[in-house]
Amino acid sequence: MASETQNSPFIKSLTSSDKEIRDQALDSLRTYLSSRTEISELDLMKLWKGLFYCLWMQDKPVHQQRLSKDLASLVPTLQPAITIPFLAAFWKTMAREWGQIEALRMDKYLFLIRQYVNASFKFLAQNDWADKARIESYMAVLEETPLSPNDVKIPNGMRYHALDIYVDELEKVGGGDWEKKKETLEILLGPIKKLQKEGRDKTVRKAAQETLDDERLPIWRGEKVQDTEMEEGEGGTDDEWGGIED
């Protein structure tokens, strides 16, 4: 296929400083992506470079968050055949550009990553997480890029952030109803387990272990009963601190 993405007029508009032009470009992009059943990896990488710098140009925090959510909203408009390649290109782009993100711009990219972790889980959760091949395919993407145990080109900062938000976003999408889907849960945790065992960096292995030690996971597996009621009983009004008595 010729490089349609490169030649599409909305690509250059994605980095425009004019909000109206950027919004129109995103609408055009959404229409373009929703109609495609195949896009080359090269074109996806070129596309994501444009999207990366589209967010780069956005300065106001409120607009940054809106744009990140808009970019994540592209995922459910994609044809299934290109969704995982599109997500893979996102992670490769973030890994490639990470070193250029200075402190003042980092927060908006961390927010974008959170939005994309959430969007990817929603994609996997379709039909009650029934498509195991789809889940395993995306786990391979995570093992290759953000949670790669061996690739020294993957920034540890990106690894830490992915680990930090993983269970939070899984909870938002999957809730706590995992007892009947324990096998799926373990597949979803597979890249983290591999990182914990095979990671080259000791601090990364420790961060992976901390994620696996999240107190929600044994509850989801049915290994531990949530003790909220017990905590409420123990911490009733009689135990409240009333200040220093005279």
Final residue in a domain of this structure, among 106, 126, 146: 126
CB 34 within 8 Å of CB 77: yes
Q: Report the C-alpha gap between 172 and 166 in whole angstroms.
A: 10
What is the rounded distance in angstroms from the CA atom of residue 110 to the CA atom of residue 112? Answer: 5
For tokens 């969007």, name the residue: 119
Identify residue 224 by its one-letter amino acid code: K
Total count of domains within the chain: 2
Same domain, 12 and 122: yes
- 1 within a domain of the structure (yes/no): no
50 belongs to a structural domain: yes
Residues 55 and 145 in one domain: no
Verify that 139 and 211 share a domain, yes or no. Answer: yes
What pLDDT is attached to residue 130? 93
Q: What is the pTM of this model?
A: 0.86
Q: Does 137 map to a domain?
A: yes
pLDDT at 165 over 60: yes
Clarify whether residues 23 and 42 are in a common domain.
yes
pLDDT digits (tens, 9 = 90+) for 13-62: 776 667 788 788 888 889 989 999 999 999 999 999 989 988 998 888 88
Question: Does residue 148 have a pLDDT over 90?
Answer: yes
Residue 182 lies in a domain: yes
* Per-residue pLDDT at 168: 97
213 pLDDT tier (thresholds 50, 70, 90): very high
From the list 116, 134, 224, 233, the residue with the least C-alpha distance to 173 is 116
Residues 134, 119 share a domain: no
pLDDT value for 228: 52
**Are 115 and 152 in a shared domain?**
no
Residues 56 and 97 in one domain: yes
Side chain identity at residue 31, one-letter code: T
Q: Is residue 236 part of a domain?
A: no
Residue 97, burial from CB neighbour count under 10 angstroms (0-12, 13-18, 19+): middle
Sign for the pseudo-dihedral over CA of 218, 220, 221, 227: positive
Query: Taking a C-beta distance cutoff of 8 angstroms, is the pair 94, 109 a contact?
Result: yes
**Which residue, 84, 107, 126, sits at the end of a domain?**
126
Q: Which residues of 11-37 are buried (b: 16+ CB within 10 A; e: fewer)?
A: bebbbeeeeeebeebbebbbebbeebe
Give the pLDDT confidence of 64-115 residue by residue, as tens digits: 898 899 999 999 999 999 999 999 999 999 999 999 999 999 999 999 999 9
CA distance 80 to 31: 15
Q: Is residue 244 part of a domain?
A: no
Whether residue 116 is contained in a domain is answered as: yes
Domain boundary among 110, 126, 142: 126
Retrieve residue 76's tokens.
């459910």
Q: Which domain holds residue 64?
A: 7-126
According to the model, what pLDDT value does residue 15 have? 63
In this structure, are 83 and 155 located in the same domain? no
